[in-house]
């Protein structure tokens, strides 16, 4: 009291107060801990005095010199029953053990909603499961976690500041789960497994024989091979007949060999790549076309030179004999073979597995393509010389288009070259336009083989099928025709060219009469020595 004089009437307590359940007194909730703290200090001092002053009572000099740190050691070592009847102890960190009552908010039909004790925590959990209630009468305990475990192939992205909470993120693309917190990329030739917990090899594929992309080229090639063998056999069987001799037997056999190789390359392009197959691909990829167009170029060049020379003199041009023609043809073919040999020396053939060609966004669809180590540019370069021969042959075919068809094969060769140019003009945009396609292997292989089959079939059909038809079904036409002199042939060709401009102004047959009248029976041209140069009679 502030006054020194005690006023008995102002006392707050009477001395008769009792703390009980029925009293109106409400004790402060922290008083228990204050009482236990005082007792903890008392027990620590008592224990300290027993240890340092065993022979006396009260504080001895050793206790006065002990210090606070030593007293703290005794405080943390106390163990007694507290005011609430529970043990008072301290752990190694100096904290009292946690003691908690667990409540659940429940609905009671009598008292209504409220909290109900369902268990306790004193160093361990004691939970009365029968006392628990869940909404809608459920019996199973609901999941009570911050984040559910991530599924296979998902990494944990921890929420900042909350170590037990995370977001699950799937490993995408070609990634796999290296640990629970990170994803890593698989090796270049591998893809993640189905559950993305590891990596596995990417399947390797090639063009199969039973694939629709291979069936059509193989079917065309087989038909072409059979037809080529049949034509060649027919020519060998009737080798000495006029039609075979007039077509230039030697160059015909060379041309048929080139056509045959154009069909054969289909099987090499579809066969399983290895060093041997890749070597043959390099050799025969452009060789068949080179042989074919070298022979055709030699033919058209000879026809052109014969009629150009005939306009100037009666002397036959040089290098038009069968031997000379073969020499020219093989010299043209040797350029292709030389290029292939250089290719072999600079870059030996080998196989590779291309993982980029079919590396799709979905790793499950990714495939490695087994193929020869030949780029698109190398393929075009290999065919480039043959295409150059083809274009040159087409130019000569255009120059000799005005020669009468009775004298040579210029017109069938011309039609062959025009059609072949159209085929290869269609090939180039398809071949390069599909360079980024996932089906590149199939489309480009099919396009290349079909183009070669078509170009070979065009030459076979236009140049040899009519001859074979006459040889087999009309042998009466396979007879020696009246030979003409070199000058007569050229004169007829010149007059035919001139009369073609006047054909619309003349009655039927008049042009033919004039052509015959221009060649006098007793002229030097009519008395010249007759010489046959294959399909041109001089």
Which CATH number goes with the domain that contains 228? Answer: 1.20.1070.10
269 and 344 within one domain: yes
Whether residues 227 and 171 fall in one domain: no
Asked if the structure places residue 302 within a domain, the reply is: yes
What is d(CA 117, CA 101) in angstroms, rounded to the nearest whole number?
Answer: 7
Report which secondary-structure segment, H or E, holds 11.
none
Q: Indicate whether 125 and 272 sit together in one domain.
A: no
Residue 333: Cβ-neighbour burial (10 angstroms; 0-12, 13-18, 19+): buried
Length of the chain: 538
Tell whether the model's pLDDT for residue 89 goes beyond 80: yes
Final residue belonging to a domain, choices 173, 201, 229? 201
Residue 10 covered by a domain? no
Cβ contacts of 489 within 8 Å, gap of 6 or more: 307, 310, 407, 536, 537, 538
Of 71, 89, 107, the residue that ends a domain is: 89
- Please, are residues 77 and 45 in contact by the beta-carbon 8 Å criterion? no
Same domain for 124 and 231: no
Question: Does 110 share its domain with 169?
Answer: no
Mean pLDDT of 181-197: 90
Residue 96 has pLDDT above 90, yes or no: no
In b/e form, how buried is each residue of 351-371, taking b as 16+ CB within 10 angstroms?
Answer: eebbbebbbeeebeebbbbbb
Are residues 242 and 295 located together in one domain of the fold? yes
Judge if 330 and 437 occupy the same domain.
Answer: yes
**Integer-rounded Cα radius of gyration of the chain:** 53
The residues, any chain, with a CB within 8 Å of residue 91's CB and separated by 6 or more, are: 97
What pLDDT shows up at residue 536? 43
Which alpha helices (DSSP H) does 15-67 contain, by range?
31-52, 61-66
Chain-centre distance of CA 234, in angstroms? 47
Interval 377-435: pLDDT, tens: 888 888 889 889 988 888 888 887 766 554 456 678 888 888 888 888 888 888 777 76
Cβ(101)–Cβ(120) below 8 Å: yes
Q: Which of 465, 347, 348, 359 is nearest to 415 (CA)?
A: 465
What CATH number does residue 192 fall under?
Answer: 2.10.50.30
Together in a domain, 257 and 339: yes
Q: What is the per-residue pLDDT for 437? A: 66
The answer to whether residue 68 sits within a structural domain is: yes
Q: Is the same domain home to 196 and 338?
A: no
Number of domains present in the structure of the chain: 4
364 and 227 co-located in one domain: yes
Structural tokens at position 381: 């370069």
Q: What is the pLDDT of residue 506?
A: 45
Q: Are residues 393 and 286 in the same domain?
A: yes
pLDDT one-digit tens code per residue, 365-380 = 888 888 888 888 888 8
The CA-atom distances, in angstroms, between 146 and each of 103, 165, 195, 222, 380 are 20, 5, 24, 70, 63
Task: With cut-offs at 50, 70 and 90, classify the pLDDT of residue 335.
Answer: very high
**Which residue segment(s) compose the domain that 120 sits in?**
98-137
Residues 334 and 417 in one domain: yes
């Amino acid at each position: 009291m502030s006054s020194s004089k005690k006023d008995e009437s102002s006392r707050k307590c009477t001395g008769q107060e009792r703390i009980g359940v029925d009293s109106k007194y409400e004790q402060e909730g922290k008083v228990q801990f204050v009482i236990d703290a005082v007792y903890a200090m008392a027990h620590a001092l008592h224990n300290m005095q027993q240890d340092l002053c065993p022979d006396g009572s009260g504080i001895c000099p050793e206790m006065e010199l002990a210090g606070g740190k030593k007293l703290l050691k005794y405080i943390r070592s106390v163990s007694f029953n507290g005011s609430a009847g529970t043990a008072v102890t301290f752990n190694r960190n100096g904290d009292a053990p946690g003691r908690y009552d667990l409540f659940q908010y429940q609905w009671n039909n009598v008292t209504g909603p409220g909290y109900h004790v369902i268990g306790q925590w004193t160093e361990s959990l004691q939970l009365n499961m029968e006392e628990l209630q869940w909404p809608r009468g459920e019996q199973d305990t609901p999941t009570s976690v911050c984040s559910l475990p991530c599924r296979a192939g998902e990494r944990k992205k921890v929420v900042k500041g909350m170590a037990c909470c995370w977001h699950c993120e799937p490993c995408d693309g070609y990634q796999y789960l290296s640990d629970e917190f990170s994803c890593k990329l698989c090796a270049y030739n591998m893809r993640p497994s189905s559950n993305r917990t590891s990596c596995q090899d990417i399947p390797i594929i090639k063009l199969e024989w039973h694939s629709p992309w291979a069936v059509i080229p193989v079917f065309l090639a087989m038909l072409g091979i059979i037809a080529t063998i049949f034509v060649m056999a027919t020519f060998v069987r009737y080798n000495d007949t006029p039609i075979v001799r007039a077509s230039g037997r030697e160059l015909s056999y060379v041309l048929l060999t080139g056509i045959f190789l154009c069909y054969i390359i289909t099987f090499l392009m579809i066969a399983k790549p290895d060093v041997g197959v890749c070597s043959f691909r390099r050799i025969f990829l452009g060789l068949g076309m080179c042989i074919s167009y070298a022979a055709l170029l030699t033919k058209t060049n000879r026809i052109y030179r014969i009629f150009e020379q005939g306009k100037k003199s009666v002397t036959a041009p040089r290098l038009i004999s069968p031997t000379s023609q073969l020499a020219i043809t093989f010299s043209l073919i040797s350029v292709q073979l030389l290029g292939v040999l250089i290719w072999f020396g600079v870059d030996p053939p080998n196989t590779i597995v291309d993982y980029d060609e079919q590396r799709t966004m979905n790793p499950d669809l990714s495939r490695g393509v087994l193929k020869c180590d030949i780029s698109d540019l190398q393929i075009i370069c290999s065919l480039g010389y043959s295409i150059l021969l083809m274009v040159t042959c087409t130019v000569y075919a255009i120059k000799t288009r005005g020669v009468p068809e009775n004298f040579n094969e210029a017109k069938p060769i011309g039609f062959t070259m025009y059609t072949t140019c159209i085929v290869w003009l269609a090939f180039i945009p398809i071949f390069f336009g599909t360079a980024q396609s996932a089906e590149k292997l199939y489309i480009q292989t099919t396009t290349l083989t079909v183009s070669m089959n078509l170009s070979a079939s065009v030459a076979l059909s236009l140049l040899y099928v009519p001859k074979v038809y006459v040889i087999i079904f009309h042998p009466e036409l396979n007879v020696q025709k009246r030979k003409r002199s070199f000058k007569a042939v050229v004169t007829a060709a010149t007059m035919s060219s001139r009369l073609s401009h006047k054909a619309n102004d003349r009655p039927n047959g008049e042009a033919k009469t004039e052509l015959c009248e221009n060649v006098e029976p007793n002229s030097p041209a009519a008395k010249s020595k007759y010489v046959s140069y294959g399909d041109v009679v001089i």
